[in-house]
């Protein structure tokens, strides 16, 4: 059965009004793939490392000195929705979304004399989540959540830890956000490690 051009155009217009899609891209930090990672045998000091890499995104004191970290993230969020709302029937909406995260992380440790003692680089490309939703009537559901991945870095909140509600305030002494007790990569689950006392 052949459809006439007018019917094809009307069908395309209806389908176009029924669907919507979005794609978000986030680039956080400076790409690290073209950087020569300093090694301890090169006898690199802190000033030389900062000259090569620029300021770090994360830092923390350690028992033997301190740790500096640089990271770069490329995050892609895709979503697609199908709804009858354009036809005046807000009875059903179908939604799909996925999240892909590519990351690079560089970690340098220094002793108290400001000499490089270790360096580690990691790269990854992961499916970071997604979801599907069926929404009867009128409602909105987020099927992909990038909130923790695109949040401001913890140093932007230093000092605010004293204003947190319990039990988070109790955990301030061991929180990785203070710059005194370790580092944490973006997207680390909140239910494990040093943050396990902060669960809601």
Q: What is the pLDDT of residues 114-167, one digit of tens each?
A: 999 999 999 888 887 877 776 665 555 566 677 777 777 766 666 666 677 777
Integer-rounded Cα Rg, in Å, for the chain is 24
Do 193 and 136 share a domain, yes or no?
Answer: no
Q: Is the dihedral of CA 25, 132, 191, 193 positive or negative?
A: negative
Do 125 and 168 share a domain, yes or no?
Answer: no
Do 94 and 131 share a domain, yes or no?
Answer: yes
Do 163 and 111 share a domain, yes or no?
Answer: no
Secondary structure (H, E, C), 84-142: CHHHCCCCEEEEEEEEEEEEEEEEEEEECCCEEEEEEEEEEEEEEEEEEEEEECCCCCC
Do 22 and 87 share a domain, yes or no?
Answer: yes
* Residue 46 near residue 110, CB atoms below 8 Å: yes
The answer to whether residue 10 sits within a structural domain is no
Do 35 and 130 share a domain, yes or no?
Answer: yes
Do 158 and 71 share a domain, yes or no?
Answer: no
Instruction: Look at residue 14 in the predicted model and tell me its pLDDT.
Output: 53
CA distances from 162 to 130, 175, 178, 188 (A): 34, 12, 11, 22
pTM recorded for the entire structure: 0.64
Q: How confident is the model at residue 98 (pLDDT cuts 50, 70, 90)?
A: confident
In this predicted model, which residue has the larger pLDDT, 61 or 197? 61
Do 169 and 139 share a domain, yes or no?
Answer: no
The answer to whether residue 125 sits within a structural domain is yes
The answer to whether residue 11 sits within a structural domain is no
Task: Residue 118: give the domain boundaries.
Answer: 18-144
The answer to whether residue 2 sits within a structural domain is no
Q: Is the pLDDT reported for residue 81 higher than 80?
A: no
Q: What is the mean pLDDT of the chain?
A: 76
Do 156 and 196 share a domain, yes or no?
Answer: yes
Q: How far apart are CA 200 and CA 193, in angstroms?
A: 15
Do 37 and 128 share a domain, yes or no?
Answer: yes
Do 138 and 156 share a domain, yes or no?
Answer: no
SS3 for 43? coil
Q: What is the pLDDT of residues 33-74, one digit of tens each?
A: 888 888 999 999 999 999 999 888 888 888 899 899 999 988
In this predicted model, which residue has the larger pLDDT, 76 or 15? 76
Instruction: Look at residue 161 in the predicted model and tell me its pLDDT.
Output: 63
Q: How many domains does one find in the chain?
A: 2
């Amino acid at each position: 059965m052949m459809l006439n051009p007018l019917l094809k155009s009307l069908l395309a217009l209806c389908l176009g009004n029924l669907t919507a899609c979005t794609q978000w891209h986030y680039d956080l930090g400076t790409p690290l793939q073209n950087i020569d990672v300093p090694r301890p045998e090169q006898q690199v000091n802190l000033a030389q490392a900062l000259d090569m890499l620029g300021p770090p995104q994360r830092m923390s004191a350690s028992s033997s000195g301190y740790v500096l970290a640089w990271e770069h993230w490329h995050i892609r969020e895709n979503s697609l929705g199908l709804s009858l709302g354009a036809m005046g029937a807000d009875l059903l909406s179908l939604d799909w979304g996925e999240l892909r995260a590519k990351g690079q992380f560089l970690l340098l440790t220094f002793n108290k004399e400001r000499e490089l003692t270790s360096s580690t680089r990691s790269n990854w490309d992961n499916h970071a989540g997604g979801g599907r939703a069926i929404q009867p009537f009128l409602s909105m559901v987020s099927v992909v959540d990038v909130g923790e991945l695109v949040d401001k870095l913890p140093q932007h909140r230093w000092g605010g830890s004293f204003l947190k509600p319990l039990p988070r305030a109790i955990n301030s002494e061991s929180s990785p956000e203070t710059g005194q007790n370790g580092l944490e990569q973006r997207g680390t689950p909140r239910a494990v490690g040093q943050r396990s006392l902060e669960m809601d």
